[in-house]
Amino acid sequence: MKAKPAAAPRPSRTRARARARTTSIAAFVVLAALVPTTASASGTQQVEAELPYVCTLPSGPLPATVRVSAEFPERASAGEPFTPSGVTTTVELPDQAVADLAARDAAGVRAATRLGVGVAQNAATATATWRGSAEPVALPESGPLTLVTKGDVPSVAGRGDGDLTFSAGALAIDLALESADGTATDAATAGPGSLTVDCALAEDAPGQGLLATVPVGTGTAAPSGSPSSPSPSGPAGTSGAPDDGQSDAPGDREAERQSERSPKVLENTPGTAADRDEVPPCRYDEQHPPTDVSLNAYVTGYANVKKMKGAAYLPPSCVLIEQGIPVPGPPDPDYLIFDTVSYANFHYQERRQTPPFEATFLSFDFAPVKATMVLEQTDTMRIDSRMKMSMTDFSTTTDTYVRAPLVLHVLDLEVNGTPLDVGSECRTETSLTSEDPDPANFPGDHLVLYGRGELLIGQPATGYLLLSGGVLSGEATIPAFTGCGTDGEDLDRLLTASVSGPGNLIKQVQGQTCAIAAPVFPSPANEGQCTEDLQPYEIPVAEH
């Protein structure tokens, strides 16, 4: 430890700026919106927990065994985030579960797991979601079905001294059921479809599902492997901080303190559909009156930053679309071809941009950094779709290219809770750019996203179609930054060196559109496409 002098001279302007620049270096990789990396620790502890669960399948509740393995630090400092690594969730379902899946004409499954993990410190608690995915596996001819999933998990930081405990909770298993030929089809067709299996920790689970204990701070920790008791001097992380003496409701004051001191879970990706009140409005109005071909939809997704090996979560954003009229494409003896050109704009508070979104990561593996950003249009987005219908079996494929001129604008930065002023004009010099497949007809700087949809007679559409939505993906170059910094400090070069460059993958998910002129509302016969006030009914979920 470095001793702090009893008194220090007032720093000169030059030294103060040097320190500010050092702080800037710690902060300005923020645009990468990294999934937090593991903080340094004196050592690691390997966890291997085997827990009994009860899973609900079509035949009813069935016992299951869940094994969780991961590495945790042996100790951590208060306020220092760390990330459990090597997390693997192994689920063993009994042979009756195999029979249930086989009864749905499934020959194999692809699994994804969502394990709720309770994080507690003294009397304060928080919840993290550990997600994992697995490669497809065939159903065994006899015996249990074993599913092994792996994935990244959010970082956690204790707010004060005291053991930080991790306990397994509810588990959801999403199963994509595959037929004998390896294809997965919708449950409404003759194919096996998909199934979500909900599992609960068995009542006789040892240690109430305890996975690990990480001592935090410099104080004496509770024995490893057992939850810590509430501190006699105060709630979690307070270390006996004195009361301000102004509360007339001790119970409310205690609850407020515990909420403020709950372990911090650093997770940028919700992973589940947002509630209606969590997304911006998406409707036409007097300033944006609809036409007979007006559509609206929500989009969400992820954008990678290759230099920083991280991904930023883009929250659900409203897009207003004017659908084009199909026109005959080039002649082809084997296909009927139609081309459609549509146009679209983000719509947020009368601006052509996404809502502001926050991303949190760890700079230099220890300093929490939070950025607030938006994507802003510089021109209208163009959507080119080409549908090809086979003259033999009438199947169709539709290739769609979305060309979007979008700049990235940084609004705010915080380093360890301290705001860092980047000014009001911090943004990329030009739009994010992609290699266009038709540069002669589409010159200039713009992002290109691509999606393909397929439709077989008598089966639901798969992939991306403008009306029903789906996944669009692409690769972008992040341009240099400009306008970043205040008080004469030019931060453009630092941002450019930390973030800008090629090879950044983008994956967007568009939801089902609402056709304003012919809305389809929810009913017992269908899920619906529009709310009663003509907003998109579906709020999509981002996919990695």
CA dihedral angle for residue 429, residue 430, residue 434, residue 437, rounded to 10 degrees: -150
In this prediction, residue 189 carries a pLDDT of 35
CA–CA distance, 174 with 147 (Å, rounded to integer): 11
Cβ-proximal residues to 243 (8 Å cutoff; 6+ apart), any chain: 253
pLDDT of residue 182: 52
pLDDT the model gives residue 360 = 60
Output the DSSP codes for 309-358: TEEEEEEEEEEEEEPPPPEE-S-BTTEEEEEEEEEEEE-BTTBSBPPPEE
CATH class entry, domain 31-230: mainly beta
Give dist(CA 164, CA 224) in Å, integer: 10
Q: What is the pLDDT of residue 256?
A: 47
Residue 174 φ then ψ, to 5°: -90, 120
Residue 96 identity: Q
Which residues in the chain land under pLDDT 50?
1-42, 184-191, 219-260, 267-271, 362-367
Determine how β-strand 85-93 pairs with β-strand 60-73.
antiparallel
Bridge partners, residue 199, by sequence: 55, 171
Q: Name the residue among 536, 520, 506 with its Cα closest to residue 280.
A: 536
Residue 141 CB partners (closer than 8 Å, separation 6+): none
DSSP symbol at 526: B
- The 10s digit of each residue's pLDDT in 395-418 is 899 999 999 999 999 888 776 677
Quote the CA–CA distance of 456 and 406 in Å, as a whole number.
Answer: 35
Please give the structure tokens belonging to residue 380: 């209208």
CA distance 128 to 168: 10
Enter the tokens of residue 53: 């669960």
Indicate the residue type of 37.
T
Q: How far apart are CA 477 and CA 384, in angstroms?
A: 21
Domain map of the chain by residue range? 31-230, 278-515
Cα R_g (the chain), whole angstroms: 26
| CA separation for the pair 383, 398 (Å, rounded) | 12
pLDDT digits (tens, 9 = 90+) for 162-210: 899 999 999 999 888 887 765 544 333 334 557 889 999 999 898 889 9
**Quick one: tokens of 361?**
């990561």
Q: What is the DSSP string of 447-487?
A: EEEEEEEEE-TTS--EE-BTTTBEEEEEEEEE--EES--ST
Can you give the pLDDT at residue 85?
87
Q: What is the pLDDT of residue 393?
A: 85
Enumerate residues 6+ apart whose C-beta is below 8 A from 297.
282, 318, 319, 321, 469, 510, 511, 512, 513, 514, 536, 538
Residues near 483 by Cβ (< 8 Å), separated by ≥ 6? 423, 425, 426, 427, 492
The pLDDT of residue 456 is 81
Per-residue pLDDT, 77: 87
Q: Which residues lie across from 317 on neighbouring strands?
A: 299
Give the whole-angstrom CA distance, residue 383 versus residue 324: 9
CA atoms within a 13 Å half-sphere pointing along the CA-CB vector of 235: 20
Q: How far is residue 272's CA from residue 65's CA, in Å, rounded to a whole number?
A: 25
Identify the residue whose tokens are 């065939």.
Answer: 138
- Alpha carbon of 107 to those of 140, 183, 188, 248, 378: distances in Å? 9, 10, 18, 63, 49
Q: What is the pLDDT of residue 247?
A: 40
Name which of 232, 256, 236 is nearest 244 in CA terms: 256
